[in-house]
Amino acid sequence: MPRSSACRRMLAVPRALVSQNKRRFQQDGFDLDLGYVHPRIIVMGYPAVGVEFLFRNPRSEVQQFLEERHSGDYFVFNFCDEPKRSYSPSIFEGRVKNYPIEDHNVPTFQMMMAFCDEAAAWLDADEKHVVALHCKAGKGRAGMMACMLLLRMGYAASATDAIDRYNRERVHDRRGLTVVSQKKWVNYYATLRAQTSVPGDVFLEPTFEIQKLRLNNTLTAAKLPKLRLRVFTLRPDGTFKSLFHQDTGSNEFELHEEIRGCVLLEFYRERLNGCMRAKHFKVWFNTYFLNPGKVEIGYVAQFLYF
C-alpha cells in the first residue's frame, strides 16, 4: 500500500490508539510504532499481516523501512511466544532469530546471555549493523532485552542508566519498562555482566528447598482472602514447568519444594463465586541471587506484576 494513500491516513488513528504511550517513527513518509533507543538498536511493535495490519505495524512497511534505512545491515529479533507470531526468516532476508518469552514475564539466564552475545556479535561485525527487536507491543519484553543489550554493548553504564534511556527514547511519559520483574532481570544481567566478560559463560544456578512461605501485609486475618499459590520454573526453552499449587485461608504456605533457576510465585485470590481466578500478584526471582536462610521479597501494591 502506498504510504501516502488516503486509506493509510485513515488507519493512523487506530494505530496511534494501539501504540498508547509509545513514540512513533514519523519521518520520510513512515508512521510506525518504532523507536531508536540507540542509533544501532531499534525497538518496535510486531510487524503484522492480516486483520492486525489495520492497527499494528504493517509488515510490508517495516520491510520497506529497514530496506531503505539499513539495507543488508539489519537483524531482527522476535521475542513473541504467542501462537502465530513467528514468521519465516525470509521475510527479513533470512536475518531473524526467535527468543520466545511469555508476555509480562522473563527469559532464562541462558536465553538472555545467548541473545546478548548473538546481537553483540552482529553489531561488532560492522559499524553499520543495527538490530531491530520486537515482541507484540514492542514495549515490555523487547524493552527488557534492549536494556540488556545497551549494557552488553557499553551504551549504558548501569541498569538504571539503561532503563532510563529506554524509557526516555521509547515512550512519551517515561513509563516504558514497568513490570518489576523485567526491571529486576535487567539488574540481574548487569550484575552477571560485571562478574564476567566471557561470551557464553555459564552461571551455576543452585538448588534450594522452599520450606515455608509467609505473606506479610496490612490485611487483618479477618480480611485476608483465600489464596492459591502456584510455583513454576522455566525450562531451558523458556516454557513453564509447574512445580506446586496449594490453597490456604491463612497467610502461610507449607511447600518443602526444591527450586532451581528462574522461579515464579503466582498468587490468586478467591472471587465471590469461589473461583480462584483473580490474580493477586506474582514474583519472579532466580536462585543464583538467593542466600540460604530467610529470604524476604517485598511488594507495595496488590494486583501488581513482579
**224 secondary structure, DSSP code:** P
Marked catalytic residue, from 135, 147, 262, 275: 135
Our CA angle for 218, 223, 228, nearest 5°, is: 90
The answer for residues whose C-beta is within 8 angstroms of residue 270's C-beta and 6 or more apart is 225, 226, 227, 228, 276, 278
- What's the grid cell of residue 244? 506446586
Angle between helices 141-152 and 159-170 (to 10 degrees): 130
Burial (Cβ within 10 Å: 0-12, 13-18, ≥19) of residue 161: middle
- Quick check: is 135 catalytic? yes
Query: Terminal CA-to-CA distance of the chain, rounded, Å?
Result: 41
Interatomic CA distance for residues 116 and 119, integer angstroms: 5
Decide if 173 contacts 140 (C-beta within 8 A): no
Instruction: Specify the DSSP class assigned to residue 67.
Output: H
Residues forming the active site: 135
